Amino acid sequence: MKLYIRYMVSLRCKMTVKKELKKLGLEYVFIDFGMVEIFEDITIEQLELLRVNLLKLRLELLDHKTNILIEKIMGIIIEMINLSDKLPELTYSDYISKKLHQDYTYLANLFSEVFGITIRQFIIINKIEKVKELLLYDKLNLTEIAFKLHYSSVSHWSHQFKKITGLTPSFFKQLRKKRSNLENI
């Protein structure tokens, strides 16, 4: 079960949430900024206690409707990236807004409050993950990857790639090849 927590945007917040979960005897599978995935179902009493305890710490457990909305935003972004060459030419903001029938500014503000990053930053991070995948498959050249993911140029996505990973796309590809060659020995 996934829970979303507004204003959980620092390492200190994550540690605080971990302590609160432990107090309630709840095991988590995954915890990241703005989100916790609980191993088992949570009782109504545990949920309410968690909500009250988090409020005291200036963190807000989001209600079910908001959780669903956040999940939908993330799902749409992943869908947009994975199907980017099959989707109509719309801006990300227009596409998300149309799919959810909601004002983009509202969605963007909510997303930022929960995750501590903008929707744009989340898109860039996930596009870079898709670029890594495409580089590893080695079926597309750099220009084709740029085109597939709607980058204006190879240099633009190469710059973003380096900014996020610290590596150039070419070096990343070489590094992966070397690692796979060593694993095959």
What's the pLDDT score for residue 182? 63
What's the pLDDT score for residue 114? 83
Asked whether the CA dihedral 109, 113, 115, 117 is positive or negative, the reply is positive
pTM: 0.74
Residues in the chain: 185
What's the pLDDT score for residue 101? 94
> What is the pLDDT tens value at each position of the chain, 185 positions in all?
888 888 887 888 889 999 999 999 999 998 887 889 998 888 889 989 999 999 999 998 888 888 789 888 988 898 888 876 665 567 889 989 999 999 999 999 999 988 888 999 999 998 999 988 888 887 888 888 888 888 888 899 899 999 999 999 888 888 877 776 666 66
- Which strands form 28-32's sheet, in the order they lie side by side? 28-32, 35-38, 2-6, 60-61
| HSE value, Cβ hemisphere, 13 Å, CA-based, for 131 | 31
Neighbour count for residue 128 (Cβ, 10 Å) = 20
Sequence-separated (6 or more) residues with CB below 8 Å from residue 133: none
Name the region of 118 (left: φ>0; alpha: ψ -120 to 50; beta: rest).
Answer: beta
Q: How far is CA 86 from CA 51, 62, 136, 148, 156, in A?
A: 41, 33, 21, 9, 21
